[in-house]
Amino acid sequence: MNERADAPTVAVFRPDDERLADAVALLADLGAEPVPDPMLAVEATDATPRTDADYVVFTSKTGAELVSAAGWEPADETVCAIGPATADALREEGYAVDIVPEAYTSSGLVDTLAGSAEPRSAERASGDEPRAEVDGARVEVARSDHGSPVLLDGLADAGAYVHETILYRLVRPEWSGESTERAAAGDLDAACFTSSLTVEHFLEAATERGVRDAALEGLADATVGVIGDPTAETAAELGVDVDVVPSEATFDALARETLAALDRRLE
């Protein structure tokens, strides 16, 4: 790609709520020109986690907000969050969070609950750290309809009795896709994908607009960052070259490390 004197254009695909606003503000603060193009919208199912579980696992801020709105009240379950953003959202809704893994991924949470890694935090009023061992325990996973099988399979392999409750469905907004045309025109310097589904929806939108091949070529010339190895694997399977998988599974790390890689590319 050619070196640019103006601010680099960076596509971001977060849902059209405060997450997108925060992402746009961060990218602007980092000196980029954000290209917001939401590739996810939430359709709530109004379901709540089952009540007979020993552990309840949440994987997103959205899930935390939806169970609170639905009136879910935990009893003696050990409440687990996949990462700090989910944990903070649960706390904001008034829930105690017992376990956050050191590695903010599905596999990291599996390792912690299987007893092969130490939990990051525990908040029970008694001060006793929950026993991070799920062999023979009932584990409820409350998340979207597009959750990675890594979590369910890993917990089952660790000996847990696993049940999944779908709190919401993730769909693509019909009007999304501006970024695909900008990629096809060579007008994107970078793109930040936050999940496998954002990659899939980007390419669906490109196909609908008749620019899939050109958009893939545009991404090949851009710096592409993704959160997590599963997203990187999905991108590779779909023909998207990935340049950055951040050291921490947060959008802040994704944005900063993607822009740093772009700067190195332009040197």
pLDDT (mean) for 185-191: 97
Least confident piece of the model among 17-26, 58-67, 100-109, 254-263: 100-109
Q: Is the pLDDT of residue 126 over 50?
A: no
- Residue 163 and residue 53 in contact, taking contact as beta carbons nearer than 8 Å: yes
- Rounded Cα distance, 132 and 155, in Å: 12
Specify the residue for token string 């980007």: 202
Structural domains in the chain, CATH included, are 9-40+173-266 (3.40.50.10090), 43-116+131-171 (3.40.50.10090)
Q: What is the dihedral of CA 244, 21, 87, 80, to 10 degrees?
A: -70
Q: Is the pLDDT of residue 163 over 80?
A: yes
At 23, the pLDDT band (50, 70, 90 cuts) reads very high
**pTM reported for the whole predicted model:** 0.72
Q: Is the pLDDT of residue 4 over 90?
A: no
Furthest C-alpha separation in the chain: 59
Helix axes 212-221, 196-208, angle to 10 degrees: 130
